[in-house]
Structure formats: C-alpha cells, structure tokens
Structure 1
Amino acid sequence: MSIKTKILLGMLVFVPIAMGAQWLHLNPLIVFLVSGLAIIPLAAWIANSTEEIATVIGPAFGGLLNATFGNATEMIIAIVALRSGLVEVVKASITGSIIANLLLAIGLSTLLGGIRFSEQKFQPTVARLNSSSLILAVIVMVTPTIMHETSAGLKPEILNYFSYAAAVLLLLFYCLMLYFSMKTHRSLYQLEELESEAHGAPEAAAHPTINLKLQLGVLLGATIVLVFISDILVESLQETIKTVGLSPLFTGVILIPLFGGVVEYITCITFALKNKMEVAMAVAIGSSLQIALFVAPILVLVGWLMGQPMNLDFNPFEIVAVAMAVIICNSISSDGSSNWLEGVLLLITYIILGTAFYFHP
C-alpha cells in the first residue's frame, strides 16, 4: 500500500468527525474546515475508481465516465449549494476552479518539476487546442456580463434564456471535443501510451486485473457519502460567511476549489516530478475544460429544473480573473516546454488574484 493511499485512508476519519461536529452544533468554521477535509479522500476515491473502471470498459465509455465523474466533487458541492440558494457562491466556485487549475495546479507542477528537471516538454498542439477551447468558454461567460452592463433595463429573464441556449451549445461542443479526442484525432492524446508500446511495455502490466464490482461499489458509496458531506459543508458555509466575515466571492473562488481540487493538484505535481509534464498539463487544463464546458452548463440546466435559476452572468472581476488565467496559461504552454520560473510566475499571479478577491467587497 502506497503512502498516498495510507494518507487518504487515514483522512476518512474526518467523515464521521464532520457528521459529529454538525450534530453537536460546533462552531460553523470548525464544521466547515472538517467537512472540507472529509471531502478530500472522498474525491480521491471517486477519481481513482473512475480511472480504474475506465480502463475496463474501454476508451469510448471510459471517456464518457471520466467526463461525468472527473469533476464530480465540484458538481455535487455546487448542486447542493444551488439547492440552498447560494447562486453567487456557485458561480464563484466555477470561476475559482478554473483559475486554481490553470494557475495553482500548473504553477506548482511547473515549479516543482522545473526544480528537478531544468526543462520539461509536452505536446504544444493539444495545449493550444485546449487553451483555445477555454477562450471559447471565456467568450460565453463574458457575453451575458457585457449584455447586462451595456443594456439598461435588460430583464433578468433574457439573460436566463441566453444562458440556457449557451449551456446547450457548450455541452454540444464538449461532446464534439470528446469525439475528437477519442475518435478522429485519438493519436494526439495517446502519446504516453504510444511511448510505452514503443519501449515494449507489456499490455498486461499496463492494465492489471481490476475488480469491476468493487470499483463500482466504491464509486457509488463515495458519491453518496460525498452528497451528505457536501450538505454539511454548504450549511456550515452560510454561517461561516456571516460569522467570520469572508465574502461569498472569496469563499467561492478560493476556499471551495481548494477542498474540491486538492487531489488533482497532487496528481499534477506527482506527474511533473516524474518528468511527465504532458500528463500534468492534460489533467489541469482538462479539468478546467470540464468545469467550463460541462459542469457550468449542467448547473445552469439543473438550476432551471430545480426552480433555482442560475445564469452565466458572472461578476465582472471574476471574468477578468479567468481571462487573465487563460491568457497567461496559454502564453506559457504555447511553446511546448516549461521551467521553474514559469511556475513562480503562475503562482504569484494566483496569489495576487487571491488577495484581490479577499479585499474585494
């Protein structure tokens, strides 16, 4: 058993602690922090089970499974918060997840990997394509905000209708991206696999025997428990915002993505330290794409069905921050190589934006 697995197993103790803390009505901040820590191992088990199941059911259904559960943690937390009426926090968590993946995850990976290896290479074609797709997401996010700011007397219903149409189009584009990556241009996304085959890696070693029923049970069980813990997190979040004085914007953009995405950040760093920067970039940027092109549209449509309307009219400062993250990430990834100084650049950008969100009223 690896050290990572032992740590995650140990962190499961926070699940009953979070439930007990809520039952005892402890300080909301304590409940919020403990439930956030409980989410980390659950997110890890969901991610691991999804990957294991995907290797068994094949690339086509495996890709769809990864698309559905790849950001299950963020989606479940957001749906629970949406049900509680925390629409602005949900919007902030969407932009925060994108910013954290592009600046924090890639920044840490590039810095730590760059310290160990002077220069790391990755596939620039895929990185450019992913960055361009993120620009599409930024365009869709900024459009209703511009409509709102430039059209006096614009009815909220109009922005809702626009968001429903945009959500469907984003989901359509995401499905086409899956088809592109798994069918028509699959070779672009399989350089690691091709490299293994070129070195004569045996197929059995690459795909060990997997207990499918066990993994399905773990996936289902972790997801159900995550729903309950997310409910505790969101309930304590409302009280924490009131008592501690943190703004919903800062909480959604900075704090919630840290709990929901820490497993992905660790994964990116692990691959970077193994000089597999291409995989680290794929995980970080791929997660941002899932948030922007899959999770956000789904939340818009789910909010519509729940009678809790959520549109794509974001806070202008959030849009500017996301655009900054996409631009600087695109600038760094365009040449297909990275070094530790670029990692520092990304991390300083994240800290500056985080500080600005903290002081933003």
Structure 2
Amino acid sequence: MSVKNILFSVLLLFVPISLAAHFLKWGELTVFITAGLAILPLAAWMGTATEEIAVVVGPLLGGLLNATFGNATELIIALIALKSGLVDVVKASITGSIIGNLLLVMGLAMLLGGLRHKEQEFQPVVARVNAASMNLAVIAILVPTTVDITSSGISEATIQNLSIAVAVVLMLVYALTLLFSMKTHSYLYDVGVAEIQSTETDSVTDAHTEKPNLWLWVGVLFAATVLVAIESEFLVDSLEVATSQLGLTALFTGVILVPIIGNAAEHATAVTVAMKNKMDLSLSVAVGSSLQIALFVAPVLVLVGWFFGQPMDLDFNPFELVAVAVSVLIANSISSDGRSNWLEGTLLLATYTVLGLAFYFHPIIDGIG
C-alpha cells in the first residue's frame, strides 16, 4: 500500500470524530477542522470508486462519469454553502479551485517531476486547446464583472440574467470539449489514456484479474457522497465562527483552504504521476480539474442559485478576477511549448504564494470575512 493510501486510510478516523464533535458540541473550530480532515479521504474514495466503475462501463461512459464526478466534492461543498447563503464564499472557492489547480498542483507536479527527470514532455496541442478553454473561462467572469463596474445603476436582476446566459454557453462549451476529447480528436489524448491504463495496471495485483464489482463500487460511491454531504454541512455551518477564531477571513478560507480540502486526492495523484514521468496524465488532472470548475461547476452553481432564489452570479470581486487572469496567463505561457522543468514549477508555486499572501492580507470586502 502506498504512503498516500495509508494516509487517507488513517484520515478516515476523522469521520466518526467529526460526528462526535458535532453532536457532542466540542466547539465550532474543532468541528471545522475534523470535518475538513474527514472530507479528504472521502473525496479519495469517491475518485477511486469512479475509476473502478469506469473500468466496468467502458471508456465512453467512464469518461462521462469522470467528467461528472471529477469535482463532485467541491460541488457538494459549494452547493451547501450556497444553500446557506454564503455566496461570496462560493465565488471565492471557484476562484481558489482554478488558481490552486493551475499554480499549486501544476507547480508541485513540475517541480517534483523535474527534480527527478531533468525535462518532461507532454502534448503541446492539448496544452494549447486547454489554454484557449481557460481563456474563455477568464472572459466568462470578466464580462459580467466589467458590465457591473462600467454600468451605473445596473440592477442585480440584470447581472443575474447575464450570468445565467453565460452559464448556459459555458456548459455547452464543456459538452463540446468532452466530444472533442472523447470522440472527434480522441487520438490527441491517447498518450494520457495509455498512462491512465498503465497506472491502473501498476496498482493492481497479479491475482486481481477480474473486472471490479460494479454494484460494490456504486455502493462505495453512494456512501462516500452521502458522507461528504454530511461533512460539508458541518464544515459550512462552522466556517464563519471557526475562521474568525483562526484569525482568517472567509475570503482567504474560500480561496485557499476549501479548494485544498476538496481537491487533495486529485492533487496527490497529479504529483505522484508526474514523479513517474507521466506529465500528460498529471496535466490532464490539474488543468482538467480547472476546466471542469470553470466550465461545469461554476455554471451549475449559477443555475442552481437561480432555481433556489440565491443571487449567485458571475460578477466576481475584481481582485479575484485579477488572480484568475494572472494564473491562467502564467500557466498558459509555461505549458505552451509542451515541455516542463523544475524551475517552471517553482515559478508557478511562487505565483501561488504571492497570490495566497495577497488574499491573506486583503481587507474584508463585500461582506466576506
């Protein structure tokens, strides 16, 4: 068993601990910390279950399943926060997920992979397609924000309607990216697919020659999803009090802490495979997660917010917009040549550190904090 699997197995102990902390009223800070730690292994189990189910149902349905459940943990946390009226925290988590995947995850992958392998290569064509898609994501949040800033007296309903229209466009684009990667131009992704299959083969023992038990893993996926929803409820309910006790604003928590909690399992996978010199797979995890957040999760949250009467829109705080734009700019410039090294990873991590410090010292705004 790998170190990662051992760690996530140990962290499962925090599931009953967090339940005890909540029902025995051990304090908001204790509930927040234990619930956050409990979500980490549950998210890993959701990812494992999704992969096992994909083996049984085939590459097409498996790809759609991964595309749907790839960021399920973050979506669940965001939905519960949205239901609680913490719209600014939800927006901050979207921002943090994008910059975290592009800077922290990709940076760690390039740094640690580059230290072990002097220079690593990946598909430049795929990198350019991903870069164009991330540029669209920046445009999607830039337009509503700019319309709000440049239009005096514009109503919230107008911004909401604009955001809904943009969300529909983004979801259509997301569907087209799936068609592109799985059907019309799947050959561009053959290297990544081969690496996924190789990784799965390496992790399977010689005795394990049968296909996974479909209903067993469906049950695991269902159970993990229910537990993530429960733990997310604990996390969100205790967030404001706990972050205040920690001396953190909810802006910093939403941008930095929540995305790390929701994406820790994927982060570990991206770094691990990069150290095995499988950069196509590593970048597909990191950049693919950012794209899913921008083109699928964010639009879903806008539509759900509209349905439930919560004013969720794509009108972001200007500083969050700058952070996303800067992250996309440097990530695209570094990945455009199809090669990476440890210094480029360091540059991405340095950018993430600078932005993290800025969010930490940023004053309370728009009711966040």
TM-score normalised by the chain length of structure 1: 0.95
Contact 1:55 1:207 in 2 (8 A): no
In the other structure, the counterpart of 1:274 is 276
For residues 243-265 of structure 1, what are the alpha-carbon distances to aligned partners after superposition, in whole Å with 9 as ceiling and x for unaligned? 33422211100110111111111
Shift of 1:27: 3.0
Larger CA deviation: 60-69 vs 252-261: 60-69
Residue 193 of structure 1 and its aligned partner are, at CA, apart by 4.4
Cα separation, 1, equivalents of 2:284 and 2:26: 40
Does 2:94 match 1:94? yes
Q: Distance in 2 between matches of 1:337 and 1:19?
A: 46
Task: Give the match's secondary structure for 2:212.
Answer: coil
Please say if 1:127 is aligned against 2:123: no
What is the CA distance between 1:347 and its match in structure 2?
0.5
CA-CA distance at 1:4 after TM superposition: 2.9
Equivalence for 1:350: 352
Q: Return the offset for 1:19.
A: 1.1
Query: What corresponds to 1:289 in structure 2?
Result: 291
Aligned to 2:165: 165
Cα RMSD, aligned residues only: 2.0
- Superposition pairs for residues 173-212 of structure 1, below 5 Å? 173-193=173-193, 209-212=211-214
| Residues 22 and 232, structure 1, Cα contact 8 Å, conserved in 2 | yes
Q: Which amino acid aligns with 2:348?
A: L
- Over 3 Å counting, the alpha-carbon distance change for 1:261 and 1:195 in structure 2 is closer
Question: Do 2:195 and 2:278's aligned partners in 1 also have CA atoms closer than 8 Å?
Answer: no
Residue 76 (structure 1) aligns with: 76
Deviation of 1:2 after TM superposition, in Å, equals 3.7
Q: Do the aligned partners of 2:196 and 2:281 also contact (CA within 8 Å) in 1? A: no
> What is aligned with 1:220?
222
The DSSP-based 3-state class of the residue aligned with 1:169 is helix
Distance 1:244 1:156 in 2: 33
Structure 1 unmatched ranges of 5 or more: none
* Matched residue SS, 2:356: helix
Secondary structure (helix, strand or coil) at the match of 1:176 reads: helix
Moved more, 27-36 or 322-331: 27-36
Give the partner amino acid of 1:171. Answer: M
Q: Secondary structure at the match of 1:297?
A: helix
Correspondence 1:102-141 to 2 at 5 A:
102-141=102-141
Could you say what secondary structure the match of 2:314 adopts? coil
Question: In the TM superposition, what is the alpha-carbon distance from 1:196 to its structure 2 partner?
Answer: 9.8
Specify whether residues 47 and 154 from structure 1 end up closer, same or farther in structure 2 by C-alpha distance, changes over 3 A only: same
Q: Aligned residue for 2:243?
A: 241
Cα distance in 2 for partners of 1:211, 1:63 equals: 18
Match of 1:255 among 230, 254, 257: 257
How many residues matched? 358
* Matches of 2:283 and 2:297, distance apart in 1: 20
Deviations 1:169-210 (A, max 9, x none): 100110011011111001111124458999xx9xx9898521
Distance 1:66 1:121 in 2: 24
Contact 2:110 2:345 (C-alpha < 8 Å) held by counterparts: yes
- Distance of aligned partners of 1:196 and 1:46 in 2 relative to their CA distance in 1, 3 Å threshold: closer
Query: In the superposition, relative to structure 1, how do residues 121 and 260 fare at CA in structure 2: closer, same or farther (>3 Å)?
Result: same
Matched, 1:331 2:333: yes
Partner Cα separation in structure 2 for residue 136 and residue 18 of structure 1: 40
Q: 2: CA distance between counterparts of 1:207 and 1:128?
A: 38
1: CA distance between counterparts of 2:339 and 2:251?
34
Query: What is the distance in 1 between the residues matched to 2:165 and 2:157?
Result: 13
Query: Matches of 2:28 and 2:248 in 1, distance apart?
Result: 13
Tell me, in whole angstroms, the C-alpha distance in 1 between the residues paired with 2:240 and 2:312. Answer: 18
Distance 1:237 1:186, change over 3 A: same
Q: CA deviation at 1:327?
A: 0.5
Task: Please give the per-residue CA displacement for 1:207-231, whole angstroms capped at 9, x wherever unaligned.
Answer: 8521111110100000001100000
Question: CA 1:193–1:47 in 2, change beyond 3 Å: closer, same or farther?
Answer: closer
SS in 2 for 1:190: helix
- Secondary structure, aligned partner of 1:307: coil
Give the C-alpha shift of residue 62 in structure 1. Answer: 1.3
1:309 is matched with 311
Partner Cα separation in structure 2 for residue 195 and residue 54 of structure 1: 15
Moved more, 51-60 or 175-184: 51-60
Cα distance in structure 1, aligned partners of 2:17 and 2:167: 38
Over residues 61-100 of structure 1, what are the superposed CA-to-partner deviations in whole Å (9 max), with x where a residue is unaligned? 1121111110000000000000000000000000100000
How far is 1:276 from its partner? 0.4
1:38 aligned to 2:34? no
Percent identity of equivalent pairs:
58
1:156 alignment partner AA: E
**Structure-1 separation of matches of 2:340 and 2:77:** 33
- Conserved in 1, the CA contact under 8 Å of 2:55 and 2:211? no
> Residue type matched to 2:170 in 1?
L
Q: Which residue of 1 aligns with 2:28?
A: 28
